Amino acid sequence: MGNVRAEAVEALQRRVGHVFRDRSLLERALTHASVGEGAAPGVHGPRDNERLEFLGDRVLGLLTAERLSADFPLADEGQLSARLHALVDKSACARVGEAWGIGPALRLSAGETKTGGRRKAGVIADAVEAILAAVFLDGGLDAARAVFATAWAEELAAPSSRERTNPKSALQEWAQRQGRPLPTYRVTERTGSDHAPTFTVEVAVQGVEPLTARGRSRQDAEKAAAVAMLQREGVI
């Protein structure tokens, strides 16, 4: 099994397009919090990828804002913000992670593996952000920028649809067209520290199976859940 995962990590590194000088950064980026539950922290803090994920979220936001400012010099702040949200949300990160084939390279606890952690969009998205932070720490901003430009190429080229930039309104209108009450959202879990929380939100529409999504804020999680439901129901 170790050899299988080692091969998966090597394949992932090739797809990411960055050869790590410090391989421990890549290993940490791929280590889910479930692996170290109850373990003492190392000299640099917890050995899982949560702190890297926190940093990667900010690196991704900077690189995306930089790219959008260059690509759309006439766009106003509202247009740029809407586009940025669609590019940095958990759904976009999960799609990047799927394209990288990140699942087999993850380090998960046995329990998390049994519950399908290698296929969970939230787990994959978090690892993508952590990898971007690891690249930044290993090679600097230029290295992270190069990885971003390649990994997010399809996301950047995709037209900005209203369903992705304002998914809650789109889901509300879809529910009304179906003759159903408005969607409802509730927080089912809040994890992480106070400075870097992660919210899990469930969205429900009458007559449709609910689903959950995660985000850095309640608003982000609600938007991610709305996008996921729109995708599942074939609206986008």
Q: Which residues are catalytic?
A: 57, 129
| Cα-only R_g, the chain | 18
Residue with tokens 């720490």: 137
How many other CB atoms sit within 10 Å of the CB of residue 152? 22
Among 191, 59, 192, which residue's Cα sits nearest to residue 129?
A: 59
Residues with Cβ < 8 Å from 213, sequence gap 6 or more? 90, 91, 121, 122, 200, 201, 203, 221, 224, 225, 227, 228
Cα–Cα distance for residue pair 136/133, rounded to 1 Å: 5
The helix or strand, by DSSP H or E, that contains position 210, with its residue range, turns out to be strand 208-215
Residue with tokens 């373990």: 39
Cα–Cα distance for residue pair 9/211, rounded to 1 Å: 30
User: Residues 202, 188: contact at Cβ < 8 Å?
Assistant: yes
Backbone angles phi, psi at 47, to 5 degrees: -90, 5
Cα–Cα distance for residue pair 132/144, rounded to 1 Å: 6
Going by the DSSP 8-state scheme, the letter that residue 58 receives in this structure is H
Edge-to-edge strand ranges of the sheet holding 184-193: 184-193, 196-205, 208-215
